[in-house]
Structure 1
Amino acid sequence: MFQGTIEIHNGRITRTKPDNGYLNIFIDGKLYEFRNSLAYPGFVDSHLHLLSGGELLFMPDLSLARSAEECVDIVSQSNFRRGNWIFARGWNQDFWTEKSFPTKRLLDEKFPDKPACLIRQDGHCIWLNSRAMEICNINSSTPDPEGGKIVKDPNGEPTGILIDNAIDIVRNYLPEYSEQHYLEFLEKSIQKLSSLGITAVHDMDVSPKYLAIYEKYFSNNDTKKINVRIFLSGKEIFEMGTVPQFKNDYCEVVGLKFYMDGAFGSFGALLSEPYSDHPYTKGLQLISEDNLNEYIYFTAKNNLGIAIHSIGDKATSIILQTYRKYLAKNLPKPKFFRIEHCQIVQPSDIPLFKELDVVASVQPSHFVSDYAMAKSRLGSRTKFAYPWKSFLDLGTLICAGSDFPVENPNPLMGIDAFINRRSFDLEQKFADETIPLDLALKSYTSFPRISLGEKEIQISSGNEGTLTILDTHFFETPKTEIKKAKVVATIVKGNLIYQAS
């Protein structure tokens, strides 16, 4: 953090003069006075979804619903549509009084003639009505796809709930938005993120069909921009056989994203032992070890990095053991190797991250919102969940993100989770896995850049003029108060893209 004078010219810092009690920033000769604020290296969110995040900001908010009935009421009062489909996101049955999955019945009663698709908060489960299933040819004879599940009632009829790879059946029938809609989603998402001090993001699982949207947005001189590193949908790219090239001053393709398992909320995270609250399942394995080997090799041959979604301990073990065997064959290595989420990890697997040079990409705000659910799902195994300090103690690089739109993208909430480890009840859980404030801050600034092989940003001459301006001195503030800090301004490559009123 920095106080004093900073001069930025043509997007780079040309001079700094440290001092106390004020912050003056000259951008191409123009003075911006931020009084007693402090400059930090620009915040980075190392795992989110720009387009679906922007989409969510236009949708009805289902996250506050406390029943399936309330979800349907909220949707019925909204004019938001995807083509002719009723479409919304954010429900979470674990926040409801009745914590079981909803069924098509309520949607059928309210929307008998229009297709309806409501996405669970984590994006790994959808809730359909009968009309949507009719359009998608989903019926009692439709088999579960590999790595997916169509939930059926005792009579074998689909209930309306589809999990993980089963969602792909529906994607082929969803109407596309217009190009203008997608541009508005990007703009809305970037507006939201810049107001939170976020200057760069790692944008996960982007379909190659949307690259033209990114190119149009980031080539427009009139749009506000942050730095974006794109991880393309690995499955789509592998099936295409070629990687589209895209790079400009702000945005470039850096990696491929794959999914080893699902999520806790829909019982899709792959565990080594059955779920404590659903003992008939251990979750879903979405890709085989053989396919994983092929994906790693394909990524390496295309000189890209790889990021693999893994929430359950069994999923993470499979990835690490497969990669260890892969490296033993002296095959080409990906540019970098990241495991995304790492929500529960066997203690014996944690040293392998450092040994194999694997980055742990974590979302600390998941701890806050998911702790009660994780405790139900895992029972006594919860002590192995969210092992942040264990990673750092063994020298593993961690980088932090939000998984927006799954979680609020505010980095201050993530930093608070790292250093205080409190769930919604405000009680600290497994305090030995909290991490120091300086490392929590680096997990949102320098570590995400290092995880991609990029140079970290420092507030010194010659560095990129990308800064987050806050009203708070983190190291002179009580730990429990840091999340109350306010973003004063956000600067990306010498462009002031957000300033608080």
Structure 2
Amino acid sequence: MLLRNVRPVARGPGRAYDGEPLDLDLPGVGEPGQVVDADGAWAVPGLWDAHVHLGQWALVQSRLDTSAADSVGAVQAGVRRRLAQRPGQPVIGFGHRPTAWPTLPTTADLDAVTDVPVVLVAGDAHHGWLNSAAQRALGLPERDEVVSEDEWFDVFGRLGETFGSERVGPDDYAATLRTAAGLGVTGVVDFEFGDGPAAWTERWAGADVLRVRTATYASGLDDVLAAGLRTEDALDAAGRLTVGPLKIISDGSLNTGTAWCCEAYAGTPALPFGEPNLPVEELTELLARAHAGGLQAAVHAIGDRAVGAALDAFAATGARGSVEHAQLVRHEDVLRMAELGIRASVQPAHLLDDRDPTEQQWPGQGGRCFALRWMRDAGVGLAFGSDAPVSPLDPWLAMAAAVHRSADERDGWHPEQSLTAAEALAASVDGVRDLREARDVVLLADDPLRFDSGPEAAAQLLGMRAGGGDVRGRSGGAPGLSALRKETPSGAREPTLTPPDPAGSFLPRRASPPTRLQRRASPPTRPPETRLTPTQSSPAARTPGRRAPRRRPPAAGPSGSGPSAGARRAWRPRRHDAPGAAARPAASRPASRGSTRSSRPAARAPARAGRAARRGRR
């Protein structure tokens, strides 16, 4: 394809491109001989989310949102409201993070509300808070604590079939992917629990919207190997659905207190260092089998001890792939990761939620969390994702979090680990280094890299998320061109290239739920609405052949070196208070309950019993 009158976003050293529209030959995009006029739009390679759970993300829209809750009582009130709206129906919710709550959640707390089954999925997806009725329905031994890790993952994928209230079909997947496409996403790596190549092959005819790499869990490894499938093998004629990696969950999470760490958690938890989900020997064996069968591996490792063990297994087997999350790392392991050629698949938006819990549970170790600068400087390949539904499927949010590392009025959290906007974008395009190598191209109304760093750069990145028609790539007969204008249900033509909003703010972290609720509550069947501000017209409305006007940044302050103080405040991420809850300054939040009570769910003996058998079914 020849893409005319386009401004390629310069991501290389020095960013020498002057911003003048030019014609660009894209051999991997569109059809031979095809010519498209970009009308002065800015172009980047198609964006990827390297870690999603698409089925769970689609279900978030219908689940009770508990992300705003700051106490057991707040959740109880939400459950009562849902039951009043849907009497007698099981309640399934998502989002609570009880690390800093005054008291920990118990079965009795939910039993006091109803005898209708209630299942509340934690915001990190590593534990579930169930009442007795739900525990019985799922065949779980009754207990008063939350259900976590292996035991939880064993039932997580059975919620729909057990309660009959959650069904995700091809249309739901397609709607979810269309919403992602509205953000410029052209590909995802799907780690949905219980899914794999067979499930995606069955639904593909109705869900062929973006490129999808579908992961395999240990429970499906035998079938994949028996079929002779290897990572990157095509599962459809066009090569848009491909085999992804083997996914292994080697430890837990910070908020559930199960991430496997070298140093003890604060206080006196039941698991002082967290714990591995499987022995290192078993991890090594799984990697060896995957490697022998031509599969890459994606090893979930959040704690630094788990990261080290994962690298040991990669080194012992010669397997290729990634460490997923790598949330807390030692510098020496970052260097090992680079030496071994193992990618770091990270989710920068998680730091917006985990900033305060990290300071509480891993005091003094925040500088080793989300160590993106260490990784970049060491030469580790970075791949950004969301882990949706843990954070929204929004690559611009991930990039902004990597650049500014703050969701509120506070300065960036450990800014020495931040990336530049160009580096964040490079981690979001599936390794494509040059636009001419891309299979998919996204057109934007403005240069996302207008600012290099800080809140201004973050706001500029977030401003991109409402814009972006994509020119879809050609691979094995895939469609050539996706229209740069989309049809609305009424038939009117709606612009898809929109200018960034200078007042754009970060999606708040958990303590700031209103914007989170607005972002998550948008039904996936309707892409985000796009509007043009009075200060800039759509690229499609410009006179052909004329230079596209450049949007001016906020007015410079007295020094002339950047936006004025007022403009900086307008661009700074803002924090909101939870609806129905009194505002509480950060300084007054409980720091750690120390030795009086663990701030994380206690270890469960049933979770250990039969661990190997459950892990094989996962």
| Structure 2 length-normalised TM | 0.66
Give the match for residue 203 of structure 2: 217
Give the match for residue 121 of structure 2: 119
Aligned to 2:457, which of 476, 479, 483? 479
Measured in 1, the distance between the counterparts of 2:213 and 2:56 equals: 16
1:101-140 paired onto structure 2 within 5 Å: 101-112=104-115, 114-139=116-141
8 Å CA contact 1:102, 1:161 repeated in 2: yes
8 Å CA contact 1:23, 1:38 repeated in 2: no
Give the match for residue 202 of structure 1: 189
> Which range moved further: 361-370 or 427-436?
427-436
Measured in 2, the distance between the counterparts of 1:99 and 1:179 equals: 32
8 Å CA contact 1:54, 1:184 repeated in 2: no
Aligned to 1:283, which of 249, 257, 274? 274
Aligned to 1:381, which of 356, 361, 365? 365
> Which range moved further: 303-312 or 196-205?
196-205
| CA-CA distance at 1:168 after TM superposition | 4.0
Are 1:231 and 2:215 counterparts? yes
8 Å CA contact 2:216, 2:245 repeated in 1: yes
Measured in 2, the distance between the counterparts of 1:23 and 1:63 equals: 47
What code does the residue aligned with 1:161 have? V
8 Å CA contact 2:351, 2:370 repeated in 1: yes
8 Å CA contact 1:23, 1:35 repeated in 2: no
Give the match for residue 67 of structure 1: 71
Give the match for residue 470 of structure 1: 444
Are 1:90 and 2:81 counterparts? no
| CA-CA distance at 1:99 after TM superposition | 4.4
Q: Percent identity?
A: 20
| CA-CA distance at 1:60 after TM superposition | 2.7
8 Å CA contact 2:58, 2:168 repeated in 1: no
Equivalent residue of 2:392, what SS? coil
1:411-450 paired onto structure 2 within 5 Å: 411-447=395-431
Measured in 1, the distance between the counterparts of 2:72 and 2:214 equals: 35
8 Å CA contact 1:22, 1:35 repeated in 2: no
1:67-466 paired onto structure 2 within 5 Å: 67-78=71-82, 85-94=90-99, 98-112=101-115, 114-139=116-141, 158-171=143-156, 174-176=159-161, 181-208=168-195, 211-220=197-206, 225-237=209-221, 242=226, 245=229, 247-248=235-236, 249=238, 250-280=240-270, 281-324=272-315, 326-327=316-317, 333-334=318-319, 336-447=320-431, 456=432, 458-460=434-436, 463-464=438-439, 466=440
8 Å CA contact 1:4, 1:20 repeated in 2: no
8 Å CA contact 1:243, 1:302 repeated in 2: no
8 Å CA contact 2:46, 2:438 repeated in 1: no
| CA-CA distance at 1:393 after TM superposition | 1.3
Residues 33 and 85 (structure 1), Cα distance of their counterparts in 2 relative to 1, 3 Å cut: farther
Residues 278 and 22 (structure 1), Cα distance of their counterparts in 2 relative to 1, 3 Å cut: farther
8 Å CA contact 2:326, 2:345 repeated in 1: yes
Equivalent residue of 1:285, what SS? coil
What code does the residue aligned with 2:56 have? S
Measured in 1, the distance between the counterparts of 2:4 and 2:158 equals: 56
8 Å CA contact 1:203, 1:231 repeated in 2: yes
Measured in 2, the distance between the counterparts of 1:240 and 1:178 equals: 30
> Which range moved further: 159-168 or 44-53?
159-168
Residues 480 and 76 (structure 1), Cα distance of their counterparts in 2 relative to 1, 3 Å cut: same
Equivalent residue of 2:482, what SS? strand
Residues 199 and 497 (structure 1), Cα distance of their counterparts in 2 relative to 1, 3 Å cut: farther
8 Å CA contact 1:47, 1:202 repeated in 2: yes
Are 1:49 and 2:25 counterparts? no
Measured in 2, the distance between the counterparts of 1:255 and 1:319 equals: 15
8 Å CA contact 1:50, 1:203 repeated in 2: yes
| CA-CA distance at 1:118 after TM superposition | 0.9
Equivalent residue of 2:410, what SS? coil
Residues 99 and 349 (structure 1), Cα distance of their counterparts in 2 relative to 1, 3 Å cut: farther
Residues 352 and 105 (structure 1), Cα distance of their counterparts in 2 relative to 1, 3 Å cut: same
Measured in 2, the distance between the counterparts of 1:496 and 1:160 equals: 50
Measured in 1, the distance between the counterparts of 2:262 and 2:19 equals: 54
Measured in 1, the distance between the counterparts of 2:287 and 2:56 equals: 26
Residues 211 and 354 (structure 1), Cα distance of their counterparts in 2 relative to 1, 3 Å cut: closer
8 Å CA contact 1:225, 1:492 repeated in 2: no
Measured in 1, the distance between the counterparts of 2:81 and 2:401 equals: 35
What code does the residue aligned with 2:144 have? T
Q: Deviations over 1:55-77 (max 9, x none)?
A: 11232322223333333433444
Residues 217 and 363 (structure 1), Cα distance of their counterparts in 2 relative to 1, 3 Å cut: same
Instruction: Note the residue ranges of structure 1 that are not aligned, 5 or more in a row.
Output: 7-17, 141-157, 328-332, 448-455
What code does the residue aligned with 1:481 have? A
Equivalent residue of 1:475, what SS? coil
8 Å CA contact 1:270, 1:314 repeated in 2: yes
| CA-CA distance at 1:3 after TM superposition | 8.6
What code does the residue aligned with 2:200 have? Y
Instruction: Pick the structure with greater CA Rg.
Output: 2
Measured in 2, the distance between the counterparts of 1:108 and 1:178 equals: 20
Q: Once superposed, what is the RMSD of the aligned Cα atoms?
A: 3.3
What code does the residue aligned with 1:185 have? D
Equivalent residue of 1:344, what SS? coil
8 Å CA contact 1:3, 1:38 repeated in 2: no
Q: Deviations over 1:194-236 (max 9, x none)?
A: 121111111115524x64542243224xx55101111111344
| CA-CA distance at 1:297 after TM superposition | 1.1
| CA-CA distance at 1:463 after TM superposition | 4.7
Measured in 2, the distance between the counterparts of 1:31 and 1:110 equals: 62
8 Å CA contact 1:22, 1:37 repeated in 2: no
Equivalent residue of 2:449, what SS? helix
8 Å CA contact 1:120, 1:126 repeated in 2: yes
Q: Deviations over 1:378-401 (max 9, x none)?
A: 101112111111112121111111
Measured in 2, the distance between the counterparts of 1:412 and 1:35 equals: 23
8 Å CA contact 1:59, 1:89 repeated in 2: yes
8 Å CA contact 1:199, 1:491 repeated in 2: no
Residues 272 and 444 (structure 1), Cα distance of their counterparts in 2 relative to 1, 3 Å cut: same
Measured in 1, the distance between the counterparts of 2:387 and 2:483 equals: 22
8 Å CA contact 1:57, 1:188 repeated in 2: no
| Structure 1 length-normalised TM | 0.80
> Greater strand share, 1 or 2?
1
